[in-house]
Amino acid sequence: QERINNARDLFQQYGKELLEDPNVAPLIGQLKETTRASRKEMAQTGIVEICRRCDQLEGGSCCGAGLENRYDGWLLLINFLLGVAIPLKRQVKESCFFSGEKGCLLVSRHVICINYLCGKITHRIPPGQLETLREKEGKELEILFLLNETLRAVMKKWKIR
């Protein structure tokens, strides 16, 4: 909760300036595009439905409580910059703090949340489709990394944090 509050405070104080920064703004746009592309691919391959069924009908969930501890303030700040309304309390008992009734509430997720595919998925989805998904996720992660590093540099230049 402290990391969320700190990221929210940074966003409230510097969000407008960050969104207008010539180094940050293009990366925000690129991250939106690459995230949209990888999420669309997940839906088209059937992964979204497999995960939904597993979570809601089979009682499994890869998004268990504690997974939120992997998220640092930078990734949370990025989500605020992307317009995410991060909740003040856990939505789904015994799930990740960022899980909602329809899945992840975040736009930009931790690398483990992007990369992990369980056996149910890898056995059901053809390798060619997984390869296409991985290429799109790779682009998403590359832009996320660049944005993270750019934010750190900009904030350091502004003598914040």
User: What pTM does this model have?
Assistant: 0.93
Residue 121 within a domain: yes
Which residues, listed in sequence order, are joined to residue 104 by a DSSP beta bridge? 99
Tokens of 136: 């799109």
Residue 144 within a domain: yes
Provide the domain limits for residue 16: 2-156
Q: Are 24 and 151 in contact (CB under 8 A)?
A: yes
How many structural domains are present in the chain? Answer: 1
Residue 73 within a domain: yes
Residue 161 within a domain: no
Which of 73, 71, 53 shows the shortest CA–CA distance to 62? 53
For residue 115, the one-letter residue type is N
| H or E element at residue 30 | helix 25-45
Residue 149 within a domain: yes
- Specify the pLDDT at position 30: 98
Q: Are 108 and 31 in contact (CB under 8 A)?
A: yes
Give Rg (Cα) of the chain. 16
Per-residue pLDDT tens listing for the chain (161 residues): 899 999 999 999 999 999 999 999 999 999 999 999 999 999 999 998 888 788 777 877 788 889 999 999 999 999 999 999 999 999 988 889 998 888 899 999 999 999 999 999 999 999 999 999 999 999 999 999 999 999 999 999 999 86
Cα 19 from Cα 16, distance rounded (Å): 5
Which of 8, 11, 5 shows the shortest CA–CA distance to 155? 11
